[in-house]
Structure 1
Amino acid sequence: MVVNPEPADPRIPLDDRPPGPRNTPGCWIVTSLTAFIVFVLVIVGLFLPPINLYDRMFGPKFVPLAEPGESLTTTDQGFRLVAAAPSDDFGANLSAIGLRDYVANDGSTQEWIPTTRSAVPYYLALQSPVYSIETNGDTPDALVYSINIPGNAPERDLLDLYGWQDETQAWEFIPAQVVDNRLEATTDELYQHVALFQAAPDTPRVVISYDVSQVLNADTANLATVVAPAGLQPTLDGKIIGSLAPGFDTNNGYLVMPIIRDFADPRALDTTTANTILGNRTLRNEHASGIAQLASVGGYDGVFIDYRGLSEDQRDNFSTFISDLGQRMDTLGLLLGVVVPAAENVDGVWQTGAYDWRAIGKGADIVQIDMGLDPETYTPGETQLVEAMLRWGIREMNRYKITLGLTAQSVREFEGAFTTIGYDAALAGMGNVVVEAPNVSETGSIEPGSEIRAYLDGLQANAGVDTIINAPYIDYLNADETPRARIWLTTGDALRYRMDMTIPFALGGVAFEDMLSNDLAQDVYAAVEDYRTQIPSAPSPTDLALRWSVESANGLVDEITTGLREDLIITLEAPDGNYAVNVAVVGIGQEANQSVRSGAAVALFQPTPTPTPPPTATPTPTPTVTPTPAPIIPTAGSTGGGFSAVAPAAGSIGDFALGGHVHNVSGAAIGAMQRSGMTWMKKQIRFYPGYDASDAIAFVGQAHAAGFKALVGTVGNPADVAAGGEAYLREFANWLGAIAASGADAIEVWNEPNIDREWPRNQISGGGYVNMLRLAYQSIKSANGSTIVIGAAPSPTGAENAYPGQVVNDNNWLRQVVDAGGLNYMDCLGMHYNEGAVPPTATSGDPRGDNYYTRYLSLFLNEHWNIIGGQRPICITELGYLTPEGYPALPSFWAWGQNTTVAQQAAWLAGAASLLSNSGKAQMMIVWNIDFTLYASDPQGGYAIIRPDGSCPACDALAAAR
């Protein structure tokens, strides 16, 4: 549409036209006010986020750190913040306040200083400027904090990086490793202030845990700042079962923190349960909740978690579990302790497997690191294992949480493997006292003024001291003087040196799991007490020596000290009477630690004049038997460790266990055993692949119903062992576990595996047997921690040279077991003695000759005892005397027993029980046998104490010995 302009009407005067609009003052005011408001809003908007004009003009200058690697450094170059992950809009501004200014500032210029300064723990001392961090935008998932170590700072091993959190109003430890001359930390936490602090040693904690079979005593409790009774284990449904070890008191001056373990015995871990719980989020949460409730309801100060052998793929889950549990415990005001294995250095990198030290250290209050057993790793030096690991460890978690898990026992070293051993047991390999004299009367006495020689009948040994680590040791030697094994003796000095490794790193303290062991060096307790109270030590490592004593009924007659390998040669000038020659292994100048070996008795009497009879007719001479001179009788030492100074009365079996091997659980067998005073019943059950354990389980029930403890002897077929390999061993172990679960009181794992009748030919070795024993032990203990595991008794034989590949001598086979670590997987060592043809006290006179020790009970026992160094008791699971009385003559192979009578069998069995119960070495004797009747090429019936006519003379003899 076109619009044409319309001209004005010329007929209307100009003055009469309507007035147009006028610019009044009110319009200008509104316009100006509107414009001003808009202007103000624009200005205010410029000063508000996201523009923040004021801050951009006059406030902190935020440097963008959006990409990984972008960094910002303080003007003094002392601190650098680095982005380690991307962020869209993160920026930071750094500032610093010097150490002196921070200490002196009253808060008038920096309001945050008084609050942060008053929150510094008493054991920390500021060593750097305090660096403040202001940020904007979203914090990246990872930041690197890098702070210079001042040139005038003290020992850098005591420097830690701490960060202040406004949210918690506390300084928090930041894990940081040393890189060149800086401490660098990578974390997802954003701190408002960071600084270096010097750590000072605090009062050390002493954590003492103990097993459910032990009772906390007053002496041990007095050492502890934390007591951790065991007895609790997790279940597959996430719950906790068990009962705590007794003896603790929640109001006795120490913290009580029950320890929850995935094992009853550390040699038999139940890894399945813990791994199952950790792998399931619901179970994991329920488990953490249940533990926190247990600690709270029980009135404890906290708990320890000791889950060993976790699968490495559970690393993150275990860390999450500890973090969750730690938060729950914090909420309740309770403590959380965690036990972890030592770190391993692999190609220069420290690895901790399933146990993330950094995450665990953040969630827990106490972290117990179970250290290795090798004493030489404590040698000082930056490249030495313990020192290097601790230097790395204090950068991963708060040093005050770190607790060194040590052993108070001595340590046996063989071919690079280390096992714990008691102090007396460590020295048991030296043997016991033997006394020789040139002129011994028919009654076994010697004349006053006679010279005697006394010596120890064990292994040759050399002693020494590693003065760098304050550790005495003893090297046991083979017959050719070559080294066999080294025993590191844990004396008080040796232990104090290891405990003092905590001091230069200002660690939290030490922990022990074996402080209630009854075979520690005598000065160990004093050393721990001095460490706890920080009384300086004065180490005096010393050589070992033998301290001999000759004693009479009235007391000490003489005392002499010789070198460790010296015999005692003396002339006995003393009144008539009975004397004892005793010896203790001592440290020169450090006699508090002594190990008393079994001594020997000496009868000292003047010969009695024989009056000359009046002449009589000389009868026809008749042959007479020349009496065998009575041997000098071994007796127990007088004081200290080892065996009791006063032996039990002859014939007293005491706590010594007596039992019998039955063919059938019949009324006759039960009656004979009850009549004999036996408390154990043994039966041998053979394992076949694919068969269940019902036969063995039935026997256990029968034995218990008859009132006996059940010992199940087990064995399989050599051909199955050879063909089945590892799978067979595992199936056999599972079978044993089922027997243990049924309530078996003891299981002997296999039978005489040193001969090819029971083990594959050309594969016989103690090491091979230990592979079986290890799996068996773990299965048995996992099923029933109370079941006694008895290591297989070797067949008594010395025929390996005559039958190579078919036989290994019992002593050589047993040495192989010990060297392979087999003692770690048994509670008792089995022994069979069934070829005796002489009384149990005899040491010579066997009709076959004296060419092998297995023919004499005491020599056989001592051989086995010395080989194992007294580290385990001996269980004689077969002991019998063969007699053909009531049967036909014995086959030629068994003819050595032809002259033994039933009366001798009875007397010798009773004598054997008395000898073994008094030996201090044997824990059990099972009579072989009770009721067998087979009498052919293997005359088992000849060993039976129930004779063919139904009589049992041995029953009464054994009963009389009790």
Structure 2
Amino acid sequence: MAVNDPETGNLKPSALSRVADHFREFGEWLAVGNWVYGAIALLVIGALLLPPISLPQRLHLTGYTPLNAANPSVSHPDGITIRVHPGENVSLRVRLDSVPQAIFMQGAAGSDLKAALAAIPPVLQVKSPFYRIQTGSRTAGPATIEVAIPNDAEPWETLDLYTWTGTAWEWVGGTLDREREALIARVDRLPSSVVVMQTLPVVPAIGTVAPGEAVSGPAASLLTQVMLPGLYLGADGMLIGKPPTPPSGSPEALLLVGNRPTGQPLNRALLEDLLANPEVQARHIAEVVAHAAGYAGVTLNYEGVTPEQKDAFSAFVAALAEALHAQNLRLEVMVPAPSRADSGWDPGGYDWAALGRAADALVFPLPDNPTAYAEGGAVPSLMEWAVGQVGRYKLRAAVSSLSADSGPDGVRYVGLEEALAPFGQVQPPAESSVQPGQEVVFALVGQVTSITPMESAGTYAIAYRTGQGESRTVWLGTPSFLARKLDWALRYHLGGVVVHDLLSPGNMPGVAEAVDGYRVAAGLSQPTTLEVVWKVEGPRTAEERVTLTQPEFRWKAPETAGTYTVSAAIAGVSRGAAQVNVVAPTPT
């Protein structure tokens, strides 16, 4: 059948005729044996489209969910959600799959995951499915990963997210959200997989700072490392000060480099110059590496980094770490305590995540106030935030074994004798001579205004008023308080602790035993109960112990006449003595 062409007026085949002609030509092509090639082509196309090749999926054409401001999240029924922030103008295409935990642990999930199973470190235990995360977009982040906490995964505070890179397991993180019962990790780039791991405790590193003193004493044998100060940041990137001599043998010695010599104000200009001038920074890194010879590594303690200097400081630490690692030396970085914020914790100018990636360890201080260690206090919150920023095995919690004296000017650490000084001395009785059988009250007269036992922390809060009228509080450095501080590091499976002042002679007896209990994971020691020990010496002797909160001593004068000396001591520290004369009874 033909129709007129409106442009030429000539007859032309209709569409139906043209289709019939094509089928006739195709039939003739098949008749001469070409059908074999067509069948092969169809088989090849089918093989490319169907598993295991699944070419459309490999080309990211099917099975991917677009994530953007209009559709910010995608979830998998096995318990994982990927989310982008609507305000960040991020556009991703994500596909989620999972391998059940049982199949993964049996090694039945394919040869690639058999290698992953064999490479799991002994300190990690798989607690979830093996989640696969595929991205079909040019970018893979930033995004947030939220994984539901699986059953049989207690304690929750020791859970982490890990990814298998194809050659090794790497820490992803994951901040615990107890209300959502999930681990939530903010990542710059989505990993290809994620697994919930239960972490196990490791043999902890135990360090201290030893400023110019011998590493000796009852606690010295417990140390695995000691940090030796003496060098500080100077002008033009040079180091100033006296290099300490590393001790031979164990514990390993780390060179402690700071930017504020003891007792001097912080020179911010030196730090600004270091972070802004590449030549100064290169010179400084070379100086640090050169002076680190003979040590196991370097501990960096640079104070005063501002939020505006955060990225520059992180880049400097990364460069220093690279230079030290090239010489087989470690780098540990001390950071100040983050401040409490409405949204959690604010580290100021110190990017914990970036510093943790570069350094071998990150040392952060725990609070001095005993109330922070109660359930629901600041320490549990700080710990949960910290292990979401840096791998817990890289974290070192820093505490002091001394007592802490707190006032308007901040906190300073004091020895036991100074901590007990507000109790004053034994006050002589109003009468220097007493009759046999007469009751005499002895008391400590000083500056103490209140004594509060803090049983949950195992210490005492001693409030006192100075001679200038300033109100201050001493939190006594009892062994049980130190044990409770260290227990939080053990509870969260941190890589270790730094116990400042551990070698100081001002420590209370029993401090070394508290550290040893942490080392062997022996649990908390019994609370330290402090008493005032009153002794009576003279023709008749006596001893009586009273609680620290009620330190008065009521003494009944004996029948034996003579001069008696009554003394008091707290934790072995003398609080003085007073004399009283018991007169002979008058004959009747």
TM-score category of the 2 structures, normalised to the smaller one = 0.7 to 0.9
Structure 1 unaligned segments of length 5 or more: list them: 1-31, 441-445, 586-592, 607-962
Local SS of the residue matching 1:219: coil
Q: Which residue of 1 aligns with 2:17?
A: none
What corresponds to 2:258 in structure 1? 261
- Superposition deviation, residue 178 in structure 1: 4.2
Identical aligned residues as a percent:
23
Residue 469 (structure 1) aligns with: 457
Per the alignment, residue 867 of structure 1 pairs with none
* 1-structure distance, mates of 2:461, 2:526: 15
Instruction: Indicate if the aligned counterparts of 2:67 and 2:94 stay in contact, CA closer than 8 A.
Output: no
524, 538, 547: which one aligns with 2:525: 538
Match of 1:385 in 2: 378
Within a 5 Å distance, the mapping from 1:99-498 to structure 2 comes to 99-105=101-107, 110-136=110-136, 138-166=138-166, 169-178=167-176, 180-212=180-212, 214-245=213-244, 249-252=247-250, 254-265=251-262, 268-295=265-292, 298-381=293-376, 384-414=377-407, 418-435=411-428, 455-459=443-447, 462-476=450-464, 484-498=471-485
Measure the CA separation in 2 of the matches of 1:524 and 1:128. Answer: 41
Structure 2: stretches of 5+ with no match in the other structure:
1-31
Alpha-carbon separation, structure 2, partners of 1:181 and 1:457: 54
Q: Give the deviation of 1:496 after TM superposition.
A: 0.8
Deviations 1:915-936 (A, max 9, x none): xxxxxxxxxxxxxxxxxxxxxx
| Paired residues of 1:175 and 1:358 also in contact (CA < 8 A) | no
Partner Cα distance (1:523, 1:360) in 2: 35
Encode CA deviations 1:482-519: one digit per residue, 9 max, x unaligned: 99543221110121112112233222232122223322
Please state how far the C-alpha of 1:417 moved relative to its aligned partner. Answer: 5.1
The answer to whether the Cα contact below 8 Å between 1:98 and 1:129 also exists between their aligned partners in 2 is yes
Task: Give 2:168's aligned amino acid.
Answer: A
Q: Deviations over 1:94-141 (max 9, x none)?
A: 3211111111115xx511112212222222111110012344553345
Task: Measure how far apart 1:208 and its partner are.
Answer: 0.5
Query: Following TM superposition, by how much is the alpha carbon of 1:38 offset from its aligned partner in structure 2, in angstroms?
Result: 14
Amino acid at match of 1:378: Y
How far 1:201 moved relative to its partner?
A: 2.3
The residue correspondences of 1:676-691 to structure 2 (distance < 5 A) are none
Task: Say if 1:82 and 1:145, in contact at 8 Å, map to a contact too.
Answer: yes
The equivalent residue for 1:561 is 545
With over 3 angstroms needed to count, the CA separation of the structure-2 counterparts of 1:132 and 1:250, relative to structure 1, is: farther
User: Structure 1 residue 412: deviation in Å?
Assistant: 2.8
Amino acid at match of 2:576: S
Give me the TM-score of the superposition, normalised by structure 1: 0.50
Report if the CA contact (8 A) 1:463-1:544 is conserved.
no
Amino acid at match of 1:430: F
Please list the CA deviations of residues 563-585 of structure 1 after superposition, one character each: whole Å capped at 9, or x if unmatched: 51336564594789xx7543212
Query: Could you tell me the TM-score, scaled by structure 2's length?
Result: 0.79
1:594 equivalent among 572, 576, 587: 572
| Distance of aligned partners of 1:267 and 1:534 in 2 relative to their CA distance in 1, 3 Å threshold | farther
Q: Secondary structure at the match of 1:599?
A: strand
Summarize the Cα distance change of 1:121–1:320 in structure 2 as closer, same or farther, 3 Å threshold: same
Instruction: Report the secondary structure of 1:203's partner residue.
Output: coil
One-letter amino acid matched to 2:208 = I
Count the aligned residue pairs: 544
Amino acid at match of 1:412: D
Distance in 2 (CA, whole Å) between partners of 1:62 and 1:286 is: 53
Report the secondary structure of 1:274's partner residue. Answer: helix
Mean CA deviation greater in 399-408 or 456-465: 456-465
8 Å contact kept, 1:465–1:541: no
What residue identity is the alignment partner of 1:561?
A: R
User: SS of the residue aligned with 2:512?
Assistant: helix
Match of 1:96 in 2: 98
- Cα distance 1:201–1:339, how it changes in 2: closer, same or farther (>3 A)? same
The residue correspondences of 1:802-813 to structure 2 (distance < 5 A) are: none
- The answer as to 2:568 corresponding to 1:583 is yes
Secondary structure at the counterpart of residue 282 of structure 1: helix
Could you tell me which amino acid in structure 2 is paired with residue 281 of structure 1? P
Find the aligned partners of 1:218 and 1:478 in 2 and give their Cα distance.
33
The structural deviation recorded for 1:463 is 3.3
- Deviation of residue 341 (structure 1)? 1.4
CA distance 1:280–1:45, shift in 2 (3 Å):
farther
Deviation at 1:40, TM superposition (A): 10
CA distance in 2, matches of 1:132, 1:456: 69
The 8 Å contact of residues 142 and 190 in structure 2, kept in 1 or not, is answered as: no
1:732-753 Cα offsets, whole Å, 9 max, x none, are xxxxxxxxxxxxxxxxxxxxxx
Closer/same/farther in 2, CA of residues 493 and 349 from structure 1, 3 Å limit: closer
Give the SS at the match of 1:288. helix
Aligned mates of 1:340, 1:537 — CA distance in 2:
27
Which residue in 2 is equivalent to 1:669?
Answer: none
Equivalent AA in structure 2 for residue 411 of structure 1: A
Q: CA deviation at 1:561?
A: 3.5
State the distance in 2 between where 1:266 and 1:411 align.
18
Tell me how far apart the structure 2 counterparts of residues 375 and 58 of structure 1 sit (CA, whole Å). 57
